[in-house]
Amino acid sequence: MAQGLSPAIDALVDDLKRLPGVGQKTAQRMAFYLLERDRQGALALSASLQQAADRVGHCQQCRTLTEEALCRICANPARRESGVVCIVETPADVLAIEQTSQFKGRYFVLMGHLSPLDGIGPADIGLDELELQLKQGPVEEIILATNPTVEGDATAHYIADIAEQLGINTTRIAHGVPVGGELGYVDQTTLGHAFSGRKQFSR
Amino acid sequence: MPQAAYVLHRRDYQESSLLVDLLTVNEGRVRVIAKGAKRNKNPWRAVLQAFNPLQVEYSGRHDLKTLTLAESPGTPLSLSSHYLYSGFYLNELLQRLLPQYAEVSELFLAYESALSALAKKQDIETVLRWFEWQLLQQLGHAFDWRSEAETGITLDQQAHCYFDPERGFLHENPMPDATPLDTQLVMSLEQLSQQPLVSDQVLDPAQRKLCKLIMREALAIHLGTKPLRSRELFKR
């Protein structure tokens, strides 16, 4: 979009607009901030962008984003040999689960979910690769942590079918009421899941 | 006035909205924008899921409407595994074959009854073949299970017949490579015409095999060359 200031600034603004949630105004603000007040930061940003875009690829084992052949989690022998694989849709889900520090196994990142109406089939989310890995390595348990959407459910069922054929125990993370929430405001489906998946209350 | 609807498909639209294709009881397939539906606290995020019976209202003068109300008064149907994939198959068929704003209230009822049959774990193939036939009828592509397409005379049960997807059943072979079909079995498939789908209706293995073949050919001429992706899920 020609703004008329200068070709270099226009190009910068246009490229910033690629970012999610960034429109014309925000992109302009970012561009002027970098140019007026933080040239050093601008250079650092461009260098790290360059580096990340050049080097970051996918982990050979779990498909998450990394610049190594194996990501840090897959490279950790304790986690690799734990025999537990957690299946998630995106690298952001890996970070979210890592922050709970509850999980000591490794991950498999689908980079999406099954969605036949969008033309996304099993091969597009690496399920053939997952099946291969499950056949090779000793895996005792699969934890399904796909999103609680219809597509996430379909993906979970499909993977559970694979695991069943291979005789691998499959669990799915519980759906429940958020901490600090009020029951009256929770949607019925979540509340229904929370009820059907209730646990023994231990004192 | 709110009307009954189901979500056929949804996709992200801009930062926080969804573009949703609905099957509504009064207006058929309608595309709406659900503004803000992706925001964390928005109840639409949970409500606007496929196979969830909805009450909706929308407004707007153009083809793309703005959703103004969406509630789910009942409990969502719980579909699992192959029953869930079948649900996607129904949705994909409707997305591909049903034009927007075609008035098809009977098709809505057929969809609803097929979904609830799947939720009750009725025989998948019977449900899918029944729905495919209802869809073909509603779209005006139906053929006659009992009469010869050329002459209009009742099919001769002693002779073989051949299927021509554009016309129906013929005793004369229309193409050199057409498969001869068992006429008695063909005529028995007329049971697919009944509405609604009853719970004890189950096609036997021979009927299923034949019906699948016929429906594939009948749908193929309307689907074009792009394959239905939800069929991949059944391959396991």
pLDDT at B68: 94
> What is the distance in angstroms between the CA of the first residue and the CA of the last residue of chain B?
44
Question: What's the CA angle centered on A100, arms A91 and A67, to 5 degrees?
Answer: 30
The residue type of B39 is R
Contact by Cβ (8 Å): B222, B93: no
> Whole-angstrom Cα distance, residue B81 to residue B213?
24
- Measured in residues, chain A has a length of 203
Q: Is residue A131 situated within a structural domain?
A: yes
Q: With beta carbons under 8 A apart, name residues in chain B contacting A153.
A: 80, 84
Closest-CA residue of chain B to A20 = B15
Residue A112 is part of a domain; what is its CATH number? 3.40.1360.10
Which residue is associated with the tokens 């299946």? A87
Q: Which segments within B95-217 are labelled E, that is strand?
A: 162-164, 168-170
Mutual angle of helices B81-97 and A150-165, in 10-degree steps: 130
Strand partners, A109: A88
Q: Is A37 inside any structural domain?
A: no
Which residue bears the tokens 């949804």? B10
What's the gap in Å between the CA of A75 and the closest CA on chain B?
32
Which superfamily, per CATH, for B85-233?
Answer: Recombination protein O, C-terminal domain (1.20.1440.120)
Interface of B with A in 40-59 (CB under 8 A): 43, 46-47, 49-52
B83-103: b (≥16 Cβ within 10 Å) or e: bbbbbbbbbbbbbebbeeeee
Give me the amino acid identity at B31: R
Distance from CA of B85 to the nearest CA of A (A): 7
Q: What is the 3-state secondary structure (H, E, C) of A74-102?
A: HHCHHHHCCCEEEEECCHHHHHHHHHHCC
Separation in Å, CA of B86 to nearest CA in chain A: 10
Q: Report strand pairing: B3-13 vs B54-59.
A: antiparallel
* B233: nearest CB among A21, A116, A187: A116
Give the C-alpha separation, B132 to B81, whole Å.
20
The alpha helices in A68-187, defined as continuous H runs, are 72-75, 77-80, 91-100, 127-136, 150-165
CB B115 within 8 A of CB B108: no
The verdict on a CB contact (< 8 Å) between B229 and A121 is: yes
Environment class of A83 (CB within 10 Å of its CB; exposed 0-12, middle 13-18, buried 19+): middle
Strand A65-66 versus strand A84-88 pairing type: unpaired
Q: Specify the domain boundaries for CATH 2.40.50.140 within chain B.
A: 3-71
B178-184 contacts: CB < 8 A, separation 24 or more? B179/B213, B181/B210, B181/B214, B182/B206, B182/B210, B183/B155, B183/B156, B183/B157, B183/B158, B183/B159, B184/B157
Q: Find the closest chain A residue to B44 by CA distance.
A: A187
Architecture of domain B3-71: Beta Barrel (2.40)
B168: helix, strand or coil:
strand
Q: Report yes or no: A189 at the B interface, CB cutoff 8 Å.
A: yes
Mean pLDDT by 10 residues, chain A (203 residues): 76 92 92 94 95 93 91 90 93 94 93 92 92 89 93 94 93 88 80 87 82
Within-domain flag for A163: yes
Number of domains in chain A: 1
Q: Cα separations (Å) of B113 from A133, B122, B221?
A: 40, 11, 26
Indicate yes or no: CB of A158 within 8 angstroms of CB of B236: yes
CB B80 to CB A157 under 8 A? yes
Confidence at residue A3, expressed as pLDDT on a 0 to 100 scale: 55
How many angstroms away from the CA of A107 is the closest CA of chain B? 23
Query: Is A161 in contact with B84 (Cβ distance < 8 A)?
Result: no
Inside any domain, residue A35: no
Shortest Cα–Cα distance, A116 to chain B (Å): 5
Judge contact between A72 and A91, C-beta under 8 A.
no
Interface residue A124 vs chain B (CB under 8 A): no
Q: Is B140 left (phi over 0), alpha (psi -120 to 50) or beta?
A: left
Task: Kindly tell me the burial class for residue A39, based on how many C-beta atoms sit within 10 Å of its own C-beta (0-12, 13-18, 19 or more).
Answer: exposed
Contact between A121 and B232 using a beta-carbon 8 Å cutoff: yes
Contact B86, B45 (CB under 8 A): no
Any chain B CB within 8 A of the CB of A182?
no
Is A146 in contact with A118 (CB distance < 8 Å)? Answer: no
Q: What is the pLDDT along chain B (236 residues), one digit of tens a residue?
A: 899 999 999 998 888 899 999 999 999 999 999 999 888 888 888 889 999 999 999 999 888 899 999 998 877 788 888 999 999 999 999 999 999 888 888 899 999 999 999 999 999 999 999 999 999 998 888 888 888 888 888 888 888 888 888 888 888 877 777 788 888 888 888 888 887 787 778 888 888 888 998 899 889 988 888 888 998 888 77
Domain-embedded: residue A42:
no
Using alpha carbons, select from B100, B190, B179 the residue that is nearest to residue B144. Answer: B190
| Cβ <8 Å between B236 and A189 | no
Establish if A74 belongs to a structural domain.
yes
So what's the pLDDT on residue B83? 94
CB contact under 8 A, B230 and A188: no
Tokens of A76: 């950790």
Q: Say yes or no: A167 contacts chain B, CB-CB below 8 A.
A: no
Q: B145: Cβ–Cβ under 8 A, 6 or more apart, which residues?
A: B169, B186, B187, B189, B190, B192, B193
Report how far residue B185's alpha carbon sits from residue B179's, in angstroms, rounded to the nearest whole number: 14
Q: Does A154 touch chain B (CB under 8 A)?
A: yes
Contact with chain B for residue A187, Cβ under 8 A? yes
Does pTM top 0.80 for this prediction? Answer: yes
Task: Look up tokens 């189901």; give the residue.
Answer: B6
For residue B81, which phi and psi values (nearest 5 degrees)? 45, -125
